Amino acid sequence: MRILLIDDEKALVKGLKSSLEFHGFNVDTAYSGSEALSKFGENQYDFIVLDLMLPQIDGMSLCRMFRERSEVPIIMLTARSDHLDKIAGLETGADDYMTKPFNTMELIARIRAVHRRVQKRKTPSANIVEGRLELNPDLQRVRVGDREVPLTVKEFQLLEVLMSNPGRIFSRKKLFEMIWEEEGFDTRTIDVHIRNIREKIEVDPSNPVYIITKWGSGYYFKRGNEGSV
């Protein structure tokens, strides 16, 4: 797996690069937003680890630029535990986030978990179709009518879980544990991802017909899509 590691803390980058390469990853590094953008345009990457605070081009802006060009999984690093930073990162297209300081082995585990979910499709799976919305599990593509919808890895996984279980109500905690494979403390992350999905698949995101909120309980995918509740 080829990773682009972007951070302006050279000591941190040196240590992370060494650890990642020890565990079998191929790692390119960048210390500024402009350097990262240049390398991204010249090479093909399987994963990006992106710091929030960068010179020249900040991490948020860089994440948006990456997401406009590619669906490559992105983990964002932040030196602050402010939930607003995390939510903003997710809204720009990051798949996950980690707060500094962090355990290197946890970062490696998260990279592998996301990559494993992307690569594990071994046998053909039937497309899931509801109205004009179609989800292809094998290609990890979503279409609304003739339009292909770009979703992040986490957004796709959430939509797939909901579409595969129409009518079943999932709590935010349950969805977090299923997708992130860890205890669901930060359930606001689910709200951010659901909002992003609605913006991409719904005609009127404020009046959704696909992903419905069950107040006090969670979310479910509506059969038939007669209207929202």
Choose the CATH number for 2-119 among 1.10.150.530, 3.40.50.450, 3.30.540.10, 3.40.50.2300: 3.40.50.2300
Tokens representing residue 7 in the block: 């951070």
Query: 210: number of CA atoms within 13 Å, CB side?
Result: 27
Look at residue 79 in the predicted model and tell me its pLDDT. 78
Look at residue 107 in the predicted model and tell me its pLDDT. 94
Tokens representing residue 59 in the block: 């991490």
Give the tens place of pLDDT for each residue, 145-184: 999 999 999 999 999 999 999 999 999 999 998 888 777 6
- Cα separation, 222 vs 229, in Å, equals 10
Q: Please check whether residue 141 is in contact with residue 118, taking contact to mean a CB–CB distance below 8 angstroms.
A: no
Look at residue 41 in the predicted model and tell me its pLDDT. 92
Which of residues 181 and 133 earns the better pLDDT score?
133
Which fold would CATH assign to domain 128-221?
Arc Repressor Mutant, subunit A (1.10.10)
Look at residue 115 in the predicted model and tell me its pLDDT. 79
> What proportion of the chain, given as a percentage, has pLDDT over 70?
90
Q: Is the pLDDT of residue 226 over 50?
A: no
Look at residue 228 in the predicted model and tell me its pLDDT. 34
Look at residue 188 in the predicted model and tell me its pLDDT. 85
Q: Please check whether residue 52 is in contact with residue 76, taking contact to mean a CB–CB distance below 8 angstroms.
A: yes
Query: 73: number of CA atoms within 13 Å, CB side?
Result: 25
Q: Is the pLDDT of residue 122 over 60?
A: no
Which of residues 210 and 180 earns the better pLDDT score?
210
What is the average pLDDT score of the chain?
A: 88
Q: Where along the chain do its domains lie?
A: 2-119, 128-221
